Amino acid sequence: MFKKGTFFCIILILISTLYSQVLSDFEDGSIERWRSEGDGYCELGVEIGNPGDCLKVFDYATGAMNYAIAPLKFTGDWSMATTSDYLHFDLKVVTPISLYCSTTLVFEISGPGGKARYIPADPTPPLNVWTSYTADLDPLQWNIIEGNWLSILADVDLLRIRAEYLNGDEYVLLDNILLTIDPIISPVTPNCSYRF
């Protein structure tokens, strides 16, 4: 027979498992190991988010396409995801000009099992206003570039979000980045076959 306190703890564990998710809302004053890939850089956007703090990604418009790369807490085994799970973020493109570059992916996930991209019906965001993007984890809504959906979800080692939308200097604000599952972290297995 369970004691009252033990039963309560079991209920809390079950509830937290059912509602587990990964969120970056930047309200702790940190960019949480988010980084930029391309020709720009990231910093904390203090009190300019949706609301509060956010991730501010600068683009120098001098070279490669700019992406925000998610920290490790978003990576791992996503295979428990259902088609009702999703990725979400809020975006604001801040610029005085309106010369859009070509529109491609908004989200990309990849790993040893392949690569998939999510492109919404209208991937060109309005300028200087907050826009929300949500991608259901439904293979019918993603472009499978390599591999297959189940193999990709089994080991996601990269989540990137587009952070460049213009031909020219700009900065992009990202906030409320949410994955509605909590990935199972894949343990690192050392390779012990080397001889010294």
Closest CA to 22 of 66, 67, 88: 88
Q: Tell me what pLDDT residue 10 has.
A: 36
**What pLDDT score was predicted for residue 187?**
64
Contact 143, 117 (CB under 8 A): yes
For each successive 10 residues of the chain (196 residues), what is the average pLDDT? Answer: 44 43 97 93 96 93 84 97 98 78 80 96 86 96 97 98 83 97 78 53
- Give the three-state DSSP class for 72: helix
Instruction: Take residue 109 and report the two structure tokens written for it.
Output: 């996930």
Residues near 88 by beta carbon (within 8 Å), at least 6 away in sequence = 132, 133, 134, 135, 176, 177, 178, 180
The pLDDT of residue 165 is 83
The tokens 């994955």 sit on which residue? 179
Domains recognised in the chain with CATH numbers: 20-179 (2.60.120.260)
Q: What is the pLDDT of residue 39?
A: 83
Q: What is the pLDDT of residue 31?
A: 97
Q: Note the pLDDT of residue 21.
A: 96
Which strand (E) or helix (H) includes residue 138? none
Q: Which residues contact 81 (CB under 8 A, 6 or more apart)?
A: 137, 153, 180, 181
Distance CA 196, CA 183 (A): 36
- Rounded to whole angstroms, the maximal C-alpha distance in the chain is 68
